Amino acid sequence: EVKVDKISPRSGTDVTLGDASDTFTIPASATLDVNGTLDVTGATLTGLSAGKVLQVVQGTHSSVASTTGTVYVTTGLSASITPSSTSNKVLVTGYINSLYAYGGSPAGAYIAIYRGGASIVTAGWFYSASTTAMSVSMPFNHLDSPSSTSSLTYEIYMKKHSGSTVVAQDQGPSSITLMEIEA
């Protein structure tokens, strides 16, 4: 046992503690106070508290989708993820590119996030009082608690709010990102 108040390098600015594969243990009742920068480049982090991103999956879709109905239909945009624990959450983010509605005053649309073929949240809507078509890039996000370790497919659906037709991806691809967040 060595008791000191300070360890300083003999020369330079670096101090090495131990050798490769050595483990230094800080007791549960002790505190490691880092007032500078903690560089963990190349390290494997374990035992961190909730909020750690465990995996990221992205999907894109560029084929045009359209509907004239008031019942949700798929935009074709989807991605799948398999959570590692039933207590973890899935953050669903992305955007529908070139979502537009026309054929009425007002003309508008809804989008919803589906998981496994069932709606989990209405993610957004818009309408325009103009008689001309209105095109938007509609972002969406939702923090889901699926309570599952099975493969989960998240899809974005759309339906018309008013007007005659709603179209998605007419001017380019849409994107969805799924992030597993440790609980």
Band of residue 149 on the pLDDT scale cut at 50, 70, 90: very high
pLDDT above 70 (res 61): yes
Give pLDDT, residue 131.
Answer: 60
Give pLDDT, residue 179.
Answer: 98
pLDDT digits (tens, 9 = 90+) for 1-49: 888 888 888 888 888 888 888 888 888 888 888 888 877 777 776 766 6
Percent of the chain with pLDDT over 90: 51
- Give the mean pLDDT of the chain: 89
pLDDT digits (tens, 9 = 90+) for 74-130: 999 999 999 999 999 999 999 999 888 887 778 788 999 999 999 999 988 877 776
pLDDT above 80 (res 168): yes
Give pLDDT, residue 48.
Answer: 63
Residue of 36, 104, 108 lying closest to 70 (CA atoms):
108
What would the mean pLDDT of 142-152 be, rounded to a whole number? 97
- Left if phi > 0, otherwise alpha if psi is -120 to 50, otherwise beta: which for 60? beta
Q: Mark 19-42 as b/e (b = at least 16 C-beta within 10 Å).
A: eeeeeeeeeeeeeeeeeeeeeeee
Q: What is the amino acid identity at position 84?
A: S
